[in-house]
Amino acid sequence: MNKKQQTIDVYNATAQEMTAKFAGIGARVEDILHAFSYVQKDSPKVVEIGCGNGRDAREILNHTSDYLGIDISSEIIRLAKEALPEVSSKFIVADVEGFEFPEWTDIIFSFASLLHTPREKLQEVLQNMLSALNPWGIVFISLKYSDVYEELTKTDEFWTRTYYYYCPQDILDLGGKDYSWNKVEYQDLRGQKWFTIILWK
């Protein structure tokens, strides 16, 4: 089976259970505030990749009205529209691979979503982001960490999905010389090491 389609099928089939499991974690308030601190303007244009059921969108929409959330899972987008019906039009089903980001975007969030994007596709995604960003626009990325880039297919209570593990240098290499970057932060969550990095144009 196509690994990408298998992952999409899992998210569609288990959307309700998966979002319920992570409901108690709460929005990434500090990360969102940190990202907005780089953009000194009212209602900056924001795109969230892998918006899920709108958990982080609630917080993001406290700081801007110009928001677009995309997710590859149609079932998860359905849950986002149900959770935030007043802004349901701001959520769309889209694949980040080949997605045309809106011009003059100020902030792009990718919280634990590009971990399903392989290296050969991620370079194109990062360049598409760069083309759409305003001068000094930023990309906030969190990913599962590995010293060496690797692909892992795992089976858990939500069936089988394929993940891609990166290190910060991978992101800098794939992003290219037209991106600058901020310091990297590391976290250990439930036995998995993660990192966050902010790129700016």
Low-confidence ranges of the chain (pLDDT < 70): 1
- In this prediction, residue 140 carries a pLDDT of 98
Q: Looking at the chain, how many residues does it have?
A: 201
- In this prediction, residue 155 carries a pLDDT of 86
- In this prediction, residue 1 carries a pLDDT of 61
115, 168 contact by CB (below 8 A): no
Number of C-beta neighbours around residue 17 at 10 A: 10
138 to 31, 106, 132, 135: CA distances (angstroms): 13, 6, 11, 9
Q: Which overall architecture, per CATH, does domain 3-13+45-200 show? A: 3-Layer(aba) Sandwich (3.40)
- In this prediction, residue 150 carries a pLDDT of 96
Residue among 4, 153, 144 nearest 73 (CA): 4
- In this prediction, residue 119 carries a pLDDT of 97
200, 180 contact by CB (below 8 A): yes
165 to 5, 13, 87: CA distances (angstroms): 19, 24, 33
- In this prediction, residue 21 carries a pLDDT of 78
- In this prediction, residue 23 carries a pLDDT of 72
